[in-house]
Copies of this chain bind each other. A is one copy, B any other.
Amino acid sequence: MADGLTIALDGMGGDNAPDAIVRGAAIARERMPQLRYLIYGDESRLRPLLDAEPVLKDVVDLRHTDQVVANTDKPSAALRTGKRSSMRLAIDAVQADEAACAVSAGNTGALMAMAMFGLRTIAGVERPAICSFFPTERGETCMLDLGANVACDADNLVQFAVMGEAFARTAMGIDKPTVGLLNVGVEDLKGKDEVKLAASSLRASDLPIEFKGFVEGDDIARGTVDVVVTDGFTGNIALKTAEGTSRLISAFLREAFQSSLSAKIGYLFARRAMQKLKLRVDPRRYNGAVLLGLNGIVVKSHGGTDALGFANAIGVAYDMATHGFIAKMKQDFERLRAPDSGA
């Protein structure tokens, strides 16, 4: 296991574990041949699944543990009692530099608690944030925070901007990502105090960030900026509102295609195009929420996703690791802190 990039997987996290984890690992390995895995979990269940995937032969180090974090476990309890859990061991592997990143489809709160405890935030980051992708008219946009912090002050928002920008440069491969602060209007006078204050700080800073000022809710899908920054309360509600709206229109579309014989015939002709459309808004494509701000890369896969979705989450972790996300982010925060220390 010398060459390549090693990713630690929580083999038991998520509704479809361990099957979706192993199958997802195989799909990801087919895409990225330099991948190696450390997989934690129940050996008696994982071994037969691994044996069924020829592509994973000789690239997996399977480490047995009985302990699993349940979805119903409270973060504090998981942190206290889950020291030998598959989730915790995957994070410990990142901490011990055995793996470049960890991916789990398990309990989000527990993962955040364990990641914070095990990896700590990097210097300059008060709180980590959850970041993920959104489809847009122009491609993809990322947004943070999506729910780690329900209340945020201006400093938190500025830090999220720095973290999100580094994420867009590495995981999304954008040279000079643009950043916007989510607000209820684009005028300087509108919005919450902490958002206005964060905008002033970002404008005044000498950080190499392409700050575009305020953006509104409809700018997310429009792809006006590459990085949308907001507090975890607003971000979580925007994310779920977008998901709900997408589901609603899909349901309306299905009903429309069933509403008459003519529409049904139309569907037969348009089927391939509709399948491509479905793929285009497929949540699995955008699977992989990243815990940003820590001394290590941790990616949270949606708990209900399948192997394909899990493979995409591994892909996000891989992109961040191969593009030196942590080093870049640390550099940015050193620069962010410099004016203070010189003052």
Contacts and interface: CB of A to CB of B under 8 A. Distances in A.
Contact of A137 (B191, B251, B259): B251
Interface in A189-211: 190-193
A150 B184 contact: yes
B246 A249 contact: yes
A218 B236 CA distance: 10
A265 B241 CA distance: 33
A244 B272 contact: no
A274 interface: yes
Say how many copies of this protein the assembly contains: 2
Contact of A217 (B244, B255, B269, B271): B244
Size category of the binding interface on chain A: 35 or more
B238 A238 contact: yes
A333 interface: no
Interface stretch (A89-97, A219-227, A285-293): A219-227
A266 interface: yes
Interface in A246-302: 246-253, 255-257, 259-260, 262-263, 265-274, 276-277, 280-281
A147 interface: yes
A252 B277 contact: yes
Contacts of A136: 248
Given A249-B281, A257-B270, 8 more contacts: A136-B248, A150-B184, A150-B192, A217-B236, A217-B244, A218-B247, A255-B277, A263-B270
